[in-house]
Every structure is written in structure tokens, then in C-alpha cells.
Amino acid sequence: MHHDDMLDATGLTCPMPLLKMKLQLKALSPDQILHVIATDSGSWKDFHKFAEITNNELLKAEEVDGQYQYWIKKGTQ
């Protein structure tokens, strides 16, 4: 999937993947897409909840062999 920026959060434990994603997302312009790769299983719940309570859209989330990948579209503020 197309993305404008990428964050490799492999090896980081909760809450670091979410915190780093929020910081990197803040630097993007509205409608740009951030691709995040994480290995912390807690990120699955965190990223879905983040998209529910913010103006950002989780376009796709998948888990393959213990690796979690997310594509998040920055919302307009």
C-alpha cells in the first residue's frame, strides 16, 4: 500500500510504538499516510483505539508471523 512515511517500531514495547507513531504522524500533512511496523502485540489494540478516538484513519492493519503493520492516514484538524 502507498505510504508517505514509515516508522519501524520493531522491538519496542508498549507504549513506545504508539507514542512514536503519534510524534511521526504529527510531522505529516493532512491526508498523508504513515506505515508502521511493530512487534508488540499491545499495539493492535492501541492503534485501533487511537484511530477511533482521533481524527486519523486506520486504513489497514494486519498481523503476519508476529509482526503488526499499520497504515494510518492523518486526518485534517
Catalytic residue among 12, 14, 37, 58: 14
Alpha-carbon distance values, 37 to 4, 10, 63, 64, 77 (Å):
14, 6, 10, 11, 25
Q: pTM of the predicted model, to two decimals? A: 0.93
Please report which confidence band the pLDDT of residue 77 belongs to, taking 50, 70 and 90 as the band edges: low
In terms of residue numbers, what domain contains 61? 5-73
Count of structural domains, the chain: 1
Question: CATH code at 48?
Answer: 3.30.110.40
Q: What is the pLDDT of residue 21?
A: 97
In contact, 4 and 28? CB cutoff 8 Å:
yes
Task: Judge whether 14 counts as a catalytic residue.
Answer: yes
Give pLDDT tens digits for 1-40: 899 999 999 999 999 999 999 999 999 999 999 999 999 9
